[in-house]
């Protein structure tokens, strides 16, 4: 299986801050990296697919980048509603493994 390692596991930031979460794959996955946002008691929501494509309806403050083994999710200007846990996932090869999650708290 391809392992996806996220960092940090948690972070706290203020409204308006620029926030970056990283994800490293245990081997190359080309651009087959996706990012999800999950709020308590809710299903995950797809934010970014194939590394940098913004899912329809997702605010433009979310962006993704990377290829090969290293990927980032950036929130350009943090909003209160962005408090959630974020997961990366690879869809290069099955099983489509997830990172362990990054819990983002708003100060």
Name which position in 23, 32, 66, 69 contacts another protein (CB under 8 A). Answer: 32
Q: Does 58 bind another protein (CB under 8 A)?
A: no
22 binds another protein (CB under 8 A): no
Q: Which residues ranging from 67 to 106 are in contact with another protein (CB under 8 A)?
A: 87, 89, 91-92, 94-101
By CB under 8 A, residue 36 contacts another protein: yes
DSSP the chain: ---EEEE-SEEEE-TT--EEEEEEESS--TT-EEEEEE-TTS--EEEEETTTEEPTT--TTEEEEEETTEEEEEESS--GGG-EEEEEEE-SSSS--B---EEEEE-
**What does the binding site for another protein look like in residue numbers (CB under 8 A)?**
1, 32, 34, 36, 38, 42-46, 49-50, 53, 55, 87, 89, 91-92, 94-101
């Amino acid at each position: 299986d391809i392992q996806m390692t996220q960092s940090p596991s948690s972070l706290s930031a203020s409204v308006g801050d620029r926030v970056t979460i990283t994800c490293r794959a245990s081997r190359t996955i080309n651009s087959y990296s996706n990012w999800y946002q999950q709020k308590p008691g809710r299903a995950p929501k797809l934010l970014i697919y194939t590394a940098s494509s913004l899912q329809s309806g997702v605010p433009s403050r979310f962006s993704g980048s990377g290829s090969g083994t290293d990927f980032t999710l950036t929130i350009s200007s943090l909003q209160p509603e962005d408090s959630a846990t974020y997961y990366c996932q690879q869809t290069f090869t099955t099983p489509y493994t997830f990172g362990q999650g990054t819990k983002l708290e708003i100060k």
